[in-house]
Amino acid sequence: MMDNSVAPTTGDSISGIYFPIPAQINGWNLIDADAALGVASTDGVPTFQIYNVTDSVDMLSTPITIDETEVTSFTAATQPVIDTTNDDVATGDQLRFDCDATGTSAKGLTFILVFGASS
């Protein structure tokens, strides 16, 4: 999570944020991924990827986008798509959040990840 006064920058590992997978969700799958800004982009579409550092793979085949003037990805024109070949997590996996595009004037950032038991 980034403070609402801080603008995200493009690159790998936004602000050095990593999410370690706890033992409680070992073997589960990423089933939904969204993001929210504190301040919307006035021009351009902020775009984000989730990268499993431990497995060296992107977890999304279509990244998370937040439409211009919106603050969440919930209603984005292009919805994120989870790569089902890379959606599983194990205890201790490190997930990294990457920014592919920032948009203009966007600030703050929160990721919303949902995991479920694999079937």
Please tell me the pTM assigned to this model: 0.94
Give the model confidence (pLDDT) of 13-47 as tens digits: 887 889 999 999 999 999 999 999 999 999 999 99
Give the model confidence (pLDDT) of 41-74 as tens digits: 999 999 999 999 999 999 999 999 999 999 999 9
Q: Which option is the CATH number for 14-116: 2.60.120, 3.30.1490, 3.90.660, 1.25.40?
A: 2.60.120
Cβ-Cβ contacts under 8 Å for 49 (sequence gap 6 or more): 58, 59, 60, 63, 64, 97, 98, 100
How many angstroms separate the CA atoms of 114 and 119, rounded? 15
